[in-house]
C-alpha cells in the first residue's frame, strides 16, 4: 500500500495531525504548506484500511465506507489477491517467517548480532551468528541494483540472475 495525499484537513482523523495543521497555520504557513506537512508525517498513513478484496468498500461491508479513506482509489492490492499470489508481498513475508521459525530459529532468534558497516551507504546489512551457523541479512534501500559479493542467496524479493542486490 502507498501513502496517499489527502486534499483537505477534513480527511484526517488523527488529532495530532489536526493540531499540527492549525499550529502551522498560526505560524504563518499557507493551507497548502500545512497540509503538505501533515501529509508527510501523519499517523493516519499507517492506519488506513487494507482492503480484504476488490469488491465494494474493499470487502468490509456492502453499506457504509470504513472510518478512514483507503490509500488507493482501486482495490487491486488486497488481502485476497495477496494470499493467492505466490510472488506477492504476503508470500515473501511468509518465506521470511519460515526462514526465522523453521530453518534458522536458533541463529535468528538467539544468535549474536553485529552490524556490517563496510558496505555502500544505500545498504543495511547485519550478521546473526551462533557457534554453528552464520546468517547475513542485506537490504538495498535504493532504487538501483547494487553488486553483491556473496554467492549464496537464500531468499530474495526478486530473481537475481546477476547477483546484484535488487
Set of cell numbers at residue 108: 535468528
Neighbours of 118 (CB within 10 A): 5
pLDDT score for 145: 83
Neighbours of 165 (CB within 10 A): 25
User: For residue 60, which phi and psi values (nearest 5 degrees)?
Assistant: -70, -50
Q: Does residue 12 carry a pLDDT above 80?
A: yes
pLDDT score for 163: 45
pTM of the shown model: 0.65
Q: pLDDT > 70: what percent of the chain? A: 86
pLDDT score for 25: 97
Neighbours of 44 (CB within 10 A): 21
pLDDT score for 165: 45
pLDDT score for 59: 86
| 122-132 average pLDDT score | 93
Query: Quick one: pLDDT band at residue 150, thresholds 50, 70, 90?
Result: low
| 157-162 average pLDDT score | 52
Q: How far apart are the first and last CA of the chain?
A: 19
Q: What is the pLDDT of residues 18-75, one digit of tens each?
A: 999 999 999 999 999 999 999 988 887 777 788 888 888 888 887 777 777 777 767 8
Amino acid at each position: 500500500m502507498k501513502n496517499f495525499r489527502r486534499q483537505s484537513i477534513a480527511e484526517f482523523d488523527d488529532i495530532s495531525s489536526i493540531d499540527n495543521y492549525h499550529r502551522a497555520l498560526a505560524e504563518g504557513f499557507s493551507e497548502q504548506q500545512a497540509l503538505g506537512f501533515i501529509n508527510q508525517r501523519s499517523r493516519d498513513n499507517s492506519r488506513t484500511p487494507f482492503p480484504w478484496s476488490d469488491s465494494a468498500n474493499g470487502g468490509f461491508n456492502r453499506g457504509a465506507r470504513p472510518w478512514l479513506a483507503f490509500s488507493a482509489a482501486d482495490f487491486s492490492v488486497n488481502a485476497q489477491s495477496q494470499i493467492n499470489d505466490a510472488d506477492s508481498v504476503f508470500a515473501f513475508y511468509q518465506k521470511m517467517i519460515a526462514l526465522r521459525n523453521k530453518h534458522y530459529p536458533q541463529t535468528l532468534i538467539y544468535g549474536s548480532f553485529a552490524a556490517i558497516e563496510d558496505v555502500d551507504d544505500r545498504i543495511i546489512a547485519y550478521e546473526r551468528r551462533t557457534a554453528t551457523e552464520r546468517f547475513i541479512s542485506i537490504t538495498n534501500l535504493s532504487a538501483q541494483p547494487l553488486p553483491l559479493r556473496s554467492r549464496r542467496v537464500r531468499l530474495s524479493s526478486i530473481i537475481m540472475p546477476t547477483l546484484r542486490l535488487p
